[in-house]
Amino acid sequence: MRTFAEFQILGRVGKVKEVGKTVRITIAAEYGRKDDRGDFQANPYWNEITIFNPNVMKWALENVAPGDLVNARGTLRQSQWENQDGGTEYGVTMAAEDFDNLTLAVKKSMERAAA
């Protein structure tokens, strides 16, 4: 039996940055709700994904901008380390294996329809 830990995020891009030999992209997933008056209240959760594949990194740097709607899927990796005070700290890396810019796909579709 194969076991795995996987994530999927459909959201809007906040930042795209190169960090060492990776690209990290922050994505806001919206968990809005209505308040007591029935008004919609935005409640975004920011997640940072990491891209390790050099081809996907290059494509993302050239084709992804803040505000774009993207879909990211990949694996979760939890790590732990000792901090300067001797305590244990934990972190999670969301390593994206599939990454699509849905905004770009819509733009290209509109361009083909106009041609």
Instruction: Give the pTM.
Output: 0.81
Total of domains in the chain: 1
Which residues does residue 67 pair with via DSSP β-bridges, in sequence order? none
Range of the domain at 24: 6-114
Q: What is the CATH number of the domain that holds 80?
A: 2.40.50.140
Burial of 108 (0-12, 13-18, 19+ CB in 10 A): exposed
Task: Give the span between the Cα atoms of 71 and 96, in whole angstroms.
Answer: 10
Q: Which amino acid is at 76?
A: L
Q: Is there a domain that residue 98 lies in?
A: yes
| pLDDT per residue of the chain (115 residues) written in tens, 0 to 9 | 888 899 999 999 999 999 999 999 999 998 878 888 888 888 889 999 999 999 999 999 999 999 999 999 999 999 999 999 999 999 999 999 999 999 987 777 777 777 7
